[in-house]
Structure 1
């Protein structure tokens, strides 16, 4: 029972932290002090997330929100989901049950070779900054339209329930994509982009799509896939590289709100993947993933990365010399983990300079690294 209460407390702390507004507080903290505070907070935040995640299934059973408990009569109302179709000139919202036919009609006059679909995360929705940033980037780049799923009615409250709902939501989205393909869209041209919980929703959509069509979606980009409740599960219960022909993953808050393990064909870890520069709160690092991706649409060569064993090897400049690109310009290549550094503010991309480590870490982090090198 004590372990369960520890877990519940951990979830409460995570929920409160998630609700914090970094913008209100960061300005009051000097950059140098902010780095030191973030360095001290990181292991604490990771420990809290670890406790919450390892016992997630037990907590879900306690609240009656496991997949088995909800399947059937207790399933969420998937008809509450909507699809947002956005062009340079207008935004159209359609119920997900009507989406295949209405998307076909909408794309008849606003069609691209690529079918770009964004899936948001917990407490988010397509009216907020993440989709606004990504859709605007694609439209500025010359794309005629971008599509988003609005699942906020189902994943707005109670995170542990939301982590189960994503399976149902992904199944429904996969059915819609299968219908869209039957209308003539090449599966190779479908690109799902999912942030946080949206990355796992996209994964289940890919699983369902493959089951229904026998084919793979062309590409799935996962932006800091959610970690709590997905770190200690079977691979089939979360996003995995088999969910699309090419799965690329960007980790920006690994170990807290984001998952640390590599999940794709190519996994990118900017700034170690654990915490991002100029971020005091984890929500800032977690959101940085979609900011980096949005910039990569407009500046394809901004985020050069190198294949490396780990962040320490990157710090010592002992990585592979071949350059690849993180973000929209990513292409299938050698599987593995890729590292780079970014700037502290927009524009974040540093081009080739981002592949060469520059020590701007907190003093306490450097001390820890030095001790680790001596002991190692």
Structure 2
């Protein structure tokens, strides 16, 4: 697979470089534009992807214990070395061109070129974002996501891309969902201490804070079913993080924003009673929301002088741009006293890394979940983590998912050699049950294979329905 990826990455980098060069010339001249380089790039990538279908280069060795994406880093082949070197050199070159356009010029010349230099930097950023969002189309899935993740992580490391939509703490808030009168109350993060005396908040109950993922807002997210399940319990304060539009933008900008949003969230939690936060607060995040939760846990510990949150649950934490040794660390063990992760789309939208204290891989390392065949299989599988979690929140469904413990990552492929320990996945997971787990699932509700049909609570239940 490394040679195919090398070809694609080199083509992508050449295409980006040539496209930026063309854009730069067009900004300072009136030459008639030729056929765009990006169109040529898409054609070349498409042709390479089509031809690669008939070779063994893109086949994944399912016996490999490593994440398929790790082939880029773990391979010692000359092709892999060329890939890494060319990608890094190419992106460094692009960054240097943008930042050093005016180097060596006197003041008058600098003033003359100030506008073109700024436009060049703008064109560079836009071109990189365009490639990240478009070039995967038409590629085999394993090749496409591997390349996307490698380029995205490299760009983040080099500091080429910086978010245009900078998070503003004053625009973010907690949304308290109350079952008493079906009212939603907004509490600004900058005034988080108001939560303590807000009508509908019970100081003697634990609190869950749900953080949604990429391309979501408070009015367009999967928070409704989660809140409904918790309100059906009637024993937990339910908060949703309203992050404004700071994760509803281009993916790389949203990913870059997770660390800052997490820092703001940690500062808001510092305004609340320390004992309550460390003993009663539970952060649950989906996709990029999981990465925000991890950042909040790390920053809370730093800002509080060593205090640590009780639990963080990651629902298929976002994969691209994270967990590759760059500045975006990603949710991991140590961000709370207990970090449990439910993996449902490993290696694609969700990470395949073993990162928590307890990592539950539903259907193992297979990235597509049962029941998603007739839908968008990637998005559906990524969302399934929320569906599974929500099912377990209903009081009668706590033990719907029972897991098998695996000694090695390779055993996750089919789970045949994992030991049947009946470890609970979901709301009722125990902080003492640590390790790597395989979990089976049904294609439709009840998703949990251990669900009791006599007492099962369906998501269509009316209890807690005012939250939907």
2:418 to 295, 302, 319: 319
Q: Distance between the aligned counterparts of 1:255 and 1:124, measured in 2?
A: 21
Give the aligned partner of residue 86 of structure 1.
177
Q: 1:203-214 to 2 correspondence within 5 Å?
A: 203-213=294-304, 214=306
Give the aligned partner of residue 344 of structure 2.
252
Partner SS, residue 237 of structure 1: coil
Instruction: Give the direction of change, closer, same or farther, for the CA distance of 1:186–1:162 in structure 2 (3 Å limit).
Output: closer
2:438 to 331, 339, 349: 339
Pair 1:229-2:321 in alignment: yes
Partner SS, residue 136 of structure 1: helix
Q: TM-score, normalised by structure 2?
A: 0.63
2:133 to 9, 12, 35: 12
Instruction: Give the direction of change, closer, same or farther, for the CA distance of 1:46–1:181 in structure 2 (3 Å limit).
Output: farther
Larger relative CO (CA 8 A, sep 6+): 1 or 2? 1
Q: What is the deviation of 1:337?
A: 1.2
Give the aligned partner of residue 290 of structure 1.
386
Give the aligned partner of residue 59 of structure 2.
none
Encode CA deviations 1:102-146: one digit per residue, 9 max, x unaligned: 211126753443121011111113334521111110110122520
2:310 to 207, 218, 225: 218
Give the aligned partner of residue 53 of structure 1.
149
Contact kept in structure 2, 1:124 and 1:152, CA below 8 Å: no
Q: Distance between the aligned counterparts of 1:285 and 1:328, measured in 2?
A: 19
Instruction: Give the direction of change, closer, same or farther, for the CA distance of 1:111–1:136 in structure 2 (3 Å limit).
Output: farther
Contact kept in structure 1, 2:285 and 2:315, CA below 8 Å: yes
Instruction: Give the direction of change, closer, same or farther, for the CA distance of 1:48–1:328 in structure 2 (3 Å limit).
Output: same
1:302 to 400, 404, 419: 400
Q: Distance between the aligned counterparts of 2:294 and 2:430, measured in 1?
A: 19
Partner SS, residue 198 of structure 2: helix
Encode CA deviations 1:48-80: one digit per residue, 9 max, x unaligned: 12111111144458895348xx8xxx9432222
**Structure 2 spans left out of the alignment, 5+ residues:** 1-9, 17-44, 46-127, 453-468
Q: Distance between the aligned counterparts of 1:345 and 1:314, measured in 2?
A: 22
Q: TM-score, normalised by structure 1?
A: 0.77
Instruction: Give the direction of change, closer, same or farther, for the CA distance of 1:305–1:14 in structure 2 (3 Å limit).
Output: farther
Contact kept in structure 1, 2:331 and 2:355, CA below 8 Å: yes
Size of the aligned set, in residue pairs, is 321
Partner SS, residue 187 of structure 1: helix
Contact kept in structure 2, 1:126 and 1:132, CA below 8 Å: no
Pair 1:201-2:298 in alignment: no
Encode CA deviations 1:182-215: one digit per residue, 9 max, x unaligned: 4x52412110001000111111100111012211
Contact kept in structure 2, 1:57 and 1:66, CA below 8 Å: no
Give the aligned partner of residue 154 of structure 1.
246
Q: Distance between the aligned counterparts of 1:301 and 1:136, measured in 2?
A: 19
Q: What is the deviation of 1:322?
A: 1.8
Instruction: Give the direction of change, closer, same or farther, for the CA distance of 1:313–1:257 in structure 2 (3 Å limit).
Output: closer
Instruction: Give the direction of change, closer, same or farther, for the CA distance of 1:175–1:146 in structure 2 (3 Å limit).
Output: same
Instruction: Give the direction of change, closer, same or farther, for the CA distance of 1:106–1:166 in structure 2 (3 Å limit).
Output: same
Q: Distance between the aligned counterparts of 1:235 and 1:156, measured in 2?
A: 21
Instruction: Give the direction of change, closer, same or farther, for the CA distance of 1:192–1:97 in structure 2 (3 Å limit).
Output: same
RMSD between aligned residues: 2.8
Contact kept in structure 2, 1:76 and 1:154, CA below 8 Å: yes
Q: 1:72-221 to 2 correspondence within 5 Å?
A: 75-88=166-179, 89=181, 90-98=183-191, 100-106=192-198, 109-182=201-274, 185-213=276-304, 214-221=306-313
